[in-house]
Amino acid sequence: MAGISPSLPFRRDADNGFALTQTMLDVIKQNLKNLVLTNPGERIMMPEFGVGIKTFLFELNNSNTQGAIQSAIVTQAKKYMPFINVENVIFNVDEFNAPESLQVTLLYNVQSLELSDELQLLITS
């Protein structure tokens, strides 16, 4: 079956050589995840690309840090993925089970495709 783009991380597939994303929603979710997880300066020829969410991992988990993360996500999405609208960034705090981790849920929509979805990320050291 044909697909749209390679699915990340790369996985072998008997039909196409590599597993492929099958829908535009899968592509958008994959690109948004890439944007959030990439550190600024990590992408060649695009030094400002990326939220760098792991750099916030050992900061105090308070409203200031959460505001900075939300601001970075919204700003980067507007710049590099202007077709999506980040509606909300939800922080799930579980200090007892994994104090060195950050769980974030992004609620977003794509008006041109009339799609809404969420991206859940668990960031660990």
Is residue 7 domain-resident?
A: no
Full domain range(s) for residue 119? 12-124
pTM (2 d.p.): 0.85
Give the pLDDT mean for 90-113.
Answer: 83
Is residue 66 domain-resident?
A: yes
Is residue 112 domain-resident?
A: yes
Give the pLDDT mean for 83-87.
Answer: 96
pLDDT score at 118: 96
Is residue 6 domain-resident?
A: no
Read off the CATH number of the domain in which 41 is found: 3.10.450.40
In percent, the amount of the chain with pLDDT more than 90 equals 54
Distance CA 31, CA 119 (A): 11
Here the tokens at position 101 are 């981790």
Does residue 16 sit in helix, strand or coil?
coil
To 10 degrees, the CA torsion angle through 61, 63, 66, 71?
-160
Is residue 116 domain-resident?
A: yes
pLDDT score at 99: 66
Q: How many domains does the chain have?
A: 1
